[in-house]
């Protein structure tokens, strides 16, 4: 039986394929506070009202709802889905660019909502730090093919056979850098 992937693993994998391994390892063996840095803590605060169900009392707003796509074998929570408008919103603390990982998370949520019979009419990213919205276009066939390729890459990824060069710009901002064998020793704190 194939295990499901989570929506957040898509973005994490695109940032760095190794991060999924380290995240799962640390989550299984240590308290979350041991490996969360300020970006992750800020991200959690951006989701607090959604996670505790206090963002909205409107009955036409799904908030923090877990959904599943059987087609893609994906599971995760949607931040906000406005049922009457068909508007899907993914909240982030700070958005400086609309990365593929952000878009693919929205695609995964959209596919899951569609399977549940909901019509998604609009997708948005919301940056709470600066109160900005970014409209994400619906995926083209090419976008869907790239999305599916990422899912296949996640499912077939093998940490031990990964020989890719680390991206030091990303590595310096990674909260797993101290335990990652790919992060250069001379760069460690």
Whichever domain contains 76, its CATH number is: 3.90.320.10
189 domain-assigned: no
Distance CA 102, CA 27 (A): 22
Query: Which token pair is 37?
Result: 């840095």
Q: Which domain holds residue 32?
A: 5-180
Q: What is the pLDDT of residues 68-119, one digit of tens each?
A: 999 999 999 999 999 999 999 999 989 999 999 999 999 999 999 999 999 9
Give the total number of structural domains in the chain: 1
188 domain-assigned: no
25 domain-assigned: yes
User: Of all residues in the chain, what percent are helix, strand and coil, respectively (each to 5)?
Assistant: 45, 20, 40
187 domain-assigned: no
Position 37 pLDDT exceeds 80: no
pTM: 0.83
63 domain-assigned: yes
Question: For residue 151, what pLDDT is reported?
Answer: 97
144 domain-assigned: yes
Distance CA 83, CA 182 (A): 44
């Amino acid at each position: 039986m194939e295990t499901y992937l989570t929506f957040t693993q898509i973005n994490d994998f695109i940032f760095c394929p190794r991060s999924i391994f380290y995240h799962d390892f640390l989550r299984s063996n240590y308290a979350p506070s041991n490996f969360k840095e300020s970006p992750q803590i800020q991200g959690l605060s951006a989701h607090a009202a959604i996670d505790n169900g206090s963002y909205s009392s409107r009955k036409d707003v799904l908030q923090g709802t877990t959904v599943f796509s059987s087609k893609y074998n994906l599971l995760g929570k949607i931040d906000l889905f406005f049922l009457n408008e068909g508007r899907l919103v993914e909240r982030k603390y700070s958005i400086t660019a609309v990365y593929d990982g952000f878009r693919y998370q929205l695609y995964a949520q959209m596919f899951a909502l569609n399977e549940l019979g909901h019509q998604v009419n609009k997708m948005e990213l919301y940056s709470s730090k600066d109160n900005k919205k970014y409209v994400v276009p619906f995926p083209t066939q090419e976008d869907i093919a790239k999305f599916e390729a990422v899912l296949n890459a996640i499912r077939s990824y093998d940490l031990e056979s990964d020989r890719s060069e680390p991206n030091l710009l990303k590595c310096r901002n990674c909260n797993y850098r101290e335990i990652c064998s790919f992060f250069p020793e001379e760069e460690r704190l």
